[in-house]
Structure 1
Amino acid sequence: MVTAALALVMLAGVPGARAERPLLPGVGQADRRVPVDASADPWRSVVRVQTNLAGRCTGALVGPRTVVTAAHCLFNPRTRRFLQASSLHVLFGYDRGEFTRHVTVAGVVTDPAYDPAAPNPLVSADWAVLTLAQPAPESVPPLPVSTAPLPAGTPLMLGGYSQDRAQILMADRDCRMLGERAGLLVHDCDATRGTSGGPLLVRSGGGGWAVAGVGVAAGNTPAVRNFAVAAGRFAALLAKDTAAGQP
């Protein structure tokens, strides 16, 4: 495992501990989230996305040098602009301040329709594709992307580095698809701040897991209604890059 000064920057952004567990948006009273092994499938393909401003979100490896996440994670509200790629870092296998690999970002693509500075941003366009400066570790397999329809009741999983347990990977492994609304996938996976950009996982044809979307917004508790951008919004870009021989 690797421990670096970068981890200290992350810790500087962690809120102080509270005597009582806060009521978190997007997490129900039962809170089905559990710690998962960041070195086991499919969770080893889930990454922590860190910015030079100590912001942090979650992402998923979908190609040897390609990570998908939420675009709002890359936005600087002070300058009202997206951060430069050089300000972004991807950590593999992050667990309690240690990680197996730190990779910088060489390029970022966001949806032109998404403007987080607008009064009412188009949330269904809140996705970003990161091109890594170096390939991911060979031990980390990219997750496939699924654009298949998700009927209500489809079993799902969603994991990420939540604000209340930011040092470990937490996941809801027993949640369901609820439907669609305003171009977004609606699900009942427990998730809160910090999980933005985390992959909404669905079973693939081969029995593994595929990325059906990326988490972008949390509903109110206790009736969890959380939202993800469908993978169909960025799948064409990934396919285009693959056809062009890009990672």
Structure 2
Amino acid sequence: MRRPSVRALARPLAGVAAAALIPLVPAFSAAPAAAEGIVGGFPVDVTDVPWTVALSSRDRFGGTRSGQFCGGVAVGPTTVLTAAHCLEEDVLGSPPHEVPDLKVIAGRTDLRTDHGQEVAVRESWVNPGYDDVSNSGDFAVLTLAEPLPPGAVVAMAGAGDPAYAAGTAATVYGWGDVSGQGDYADVLRAASVQVLPDTLCERAYPAGGDGSYLAEAMVCAGRRLGGRDACQGDSGGPLVARGRVIGLVSWGSGCGRSGSPGVYTRISDALRKLGWDRAGHSHMAG
């Protein structure tokens, strides 16, 4: 089975400038992409969505865009959720604990500036049940060395939350590719999408194709005709509906393609597997 089109940046080869970062897998958009957005999106100030953060390593990705390679979402003062595949050796070149400057950047709209804060990652935990063939269980937890400012946290949608209902308006955030052609944003972008029926992604991604859509672990979102989507470099970033995070950018076929919606890690599934409640508190023994 071919590896799913995950949406992290690939680590540049030695001697390649950071500005020439290449997607982990080839991607393209069949629909015209707006020049100003994720794919069909718009600029947004991070002060309006302070829980949207960037994962950074200048050692691995250079300093042009603050070393950004994935996104994340702050769900607690020192707790960030991101995609499991963002922390794979295919992306980082080594296990995350061996990356000397792995950080989370908060409060920085434009990656070319030094606004906001860069917080060291004290500990990383990758879901051991992550399946890199289907992409089921694509989530990881970063524990920060110091807390983010008050208010820089978003609520999580638990099982049964109406925010997961098909047709619900949602927004995805990130600093990734704006066209599917390797045109990476310097400024935070957002795209207005909809939660789509699970059946749409089940038809688009049957077992044995680019990946396997599993409704209990994933959320299908985008536009039926394409044109608005997350893309490479947006992995781990939040999909938000009704003021709550419902998904993490995970995978898809191309970016913004009609008939190939974006696939997101379902937050309620991550909560269940982590033993957390919607406030991020653990109910697991020990």
Q: Establish whether residue 184 from structure 1 lines up as the match of residue 247 from structure 2.
A: no
Question: 1:34–1:27: structure 2 CA closer, same or farther, 3 Å change rule?
Answer: farther
Q: How do 1:69-80 residues align onto structure 2 when only pairs under 5 Å count?
A: 69-77=82-90
> Which residue of the partner structure matches residue 136 of structure 1?
148
Question: 1:27–1:202: structure 2 CA closer, same or farther, 3 Å change rule?
Answer: farther
Shift in Å, 1:86 = 5.2
In structure 2, C-alpha distance between the alignment counterparts of 1:13 and 1:102, rounded to whole Å: 19
Q: Establish whether residue 226 from structure 1 lines up as the match of residue 262 from structure 2.
A: yes
Q: How do 1:162-177 residues align onto structure 2 when only pairs under 5 Å count?
A: 162-163=176-177, 164-172=183-191, 174-177=192-195
Look up the equivalent residue of 2:251 and give its one-letter code.
A
> Which residue of the partner structure matches residue 15 of structure 1?
20
Aligned residue pairs, count: 215
Question: 1:26–1:102: structure 2 CA closer, same or farther, 3 Å change rule?
Answer: farther
Asked if 1 retains the 8 angstrom alpha-carbon contact of 2:87 and 2:126, the reply is no
> Which residue of the partner structure matches residue 47 of structure 2?
39
Asked if 1 retains the 8 angstrom alpha-carbon contact of 2:78 and 2:144, the reply is yes
Question: 1:199–1:15: structure 2 CA closer, same or farther, 3 Å change rule?
Answer: same
- The percent identity for this pair of structures is 28
SS in 2 for 1:14: helix
String of CA shifts for 1:110-150, please: whole Å, max 9, x gaps: 2111154xxx2x41211111110100123x42000002252
Selected match of 1:200 from 239, 255, 266: 239
> Which residue of the partner structure matches residue 174 of structure 2?
160
> Which residue of the partner structure matches residue 128 of structure 2?
112
> Which residue of the partner structure matches residue 100 of structure 1?
116
Shift in Å, 1:165 = 3.5
Shift in Å, 1:90 = 0.4
Asked if 2 retains the 8 angstrom alpha-carbon contact of 1:201 and 1:211, the reply is yes
In structure 2, C-alpha distance between the alignment counterparts of 1:74 and 1:27, rounded to whole Å: 29
TM-score, normalised with respect to structure 2: 0.67
Gaps of 5+ in 1: 1-10, 17-22, 204-208
Shift in Å, 1:226 = 0.5
Range with greater deviation from structure 2 (191-200 or 107-116): 107-116
Look up the equivalent residue of 1:48 and give its one-letter code.
A
Question: 1:38–1:27: structure 2 CA closer, same or farther, 3 Å change rule?
Answer: farther
Shift in Å, 1:80 = 7.4
* C-alpha RMSD over aligned residues: 2.7
Of Structure 1 and Structure 2, the greater strand share is in 1
String of CA shifts for 1:148-197, please: whole Å, max 9, x gaps: 2522211110010113243110110x210112332321111521111111
Asked if 2 retains the 8 angstrom alpha-carbon contact of 1:101 and 1:137, the reply is no
Gaps of 5+ in 2: 1-15, 35-39, 62-67, 178-182, 199-212, 223-227
In structure 1, C-alpha distance between the alignment counterparts of 2:196 and 2:51, rounded to whole Å: 25
SS in 2 for 1:215: strand
Selected match of 2:281 from 222, 242, 246: 242
